Amino acid sequence: MIGGSRRSPRRAAPLRALVVVAHPRADSYTRAVADAAVDGLRAGGHAVEVIDLYAEGFRPAMSLEERRAYATDEPLVEEQTRAHAELVRWCDAMVFVYPTWWSGLPAILKGWLERVLVVGVAFRFHERTGKVRPGLKRMRFVVGISTYGSPWSYVKAVNDNGRRVLHRALRMSCGVRTRTVWLGLYAIDTSTHAERVAFVERVRTRMAGLGRPRRARRTGPAQVQVPR
C-alpha cells in the first residue's frame, strides 16, 4: 500500500464455550464426539466448561416448587440449576452434544432447557409491554452436534425437532449477531466405522476453528478412538 501500512487481519477473541452433553453411557459414541468437541475447542485456544447431564444426575422434571418460583425474582431454587445458570451467564458459545431420539432432544436435555434457561437467564420480560426479550445477547455461537438413526431425508421430513428448538427457539433469546452451527451424523445405525471416525474428526476440526475465518480452520491430524 502506497503512503500507508497494511493492517494484519484482526483475530477474533477466544470463546468461552459451555459444552452440554446428554447421553447415559460414558463409553458411548456421543461421549467420543463430545470429547472431540472439547479437544477441538481447547486446541483452538478457547476456554471450555462441560456439563455432563447424566454424570451429574440432573433431574429433568420441573418440580412444583420450581413452577411456583418461575415467575418470581428467584426462579432457580436448587444449587445445581443455579450453578448451571452461572455457566450459561459466563459463556459466549453453547455447544450441545446429544443423540436424536424420537425426532427430538433427549428428555434430560429438554428438561435442562426448561429448568436452567429461565427468566433472568435466557430471557426477560419487558417492563411496560410484558413481552419476552432476549437475555443471551452476548452469545456468539449456538452449536448443535447430534447423531440420528434415520437418514437425512427422513430427518428433514419430520422437521428435526431438536435442531428447531436450539437453532430457532433458543436462538430467539440470543443477539442478532449470534451464529449457529450444526453438525449431524445421519443413519448412524448403518454407518461404517470409518464414517464414524471421520465425523469425530470433522467435529474436532470444526470446533478448533470456531470463530475464525474459514481459511484458518485447518488443524493437524489426531488419533481418534471411537466405539465400534
The answer to whether residues 207 and 44 touch, using CB atoms and an 8 Å cutoff, is yes
- In the beta sheet, which residues pair with residue 179? 141
Range of the domain at 198: 16-214
Beta-ladder partners of 79: none
3-state helix, strand, coil in the chain (%, to 5): 35, 20, 45
Is 83 a domain residue? yes
How many other CB atoms are found less than 10 A from the CB of residue 84?
24
- Provide the domain count of the chain: 1
Is 68 contained in some domain? yes
Q: Is residue 223 part of a domain?
A: no
Q: Does the pTM exceed 0.85? A: yes
Tell me the per-residue pLDDT of 102-146, one tens digit each, with 9 for 90 and over: 999 999 999 999 999 999 899 887 777 877 788 899 999 999 999
In a domain, 90, yes or no: yes
CATH code for the domain of 139: 3.40.50.360
Q: What is the pLDDT of residues 152-200, one digit of tens each?
A: 999 999 889 999 999 999 999 999 999 999 999 999 999 999 999 999 9
Residue 196 domain flag: yes
Residue among 174, 196, 176 at smallest CA distance from 185: 196
220 is a domain residue: no
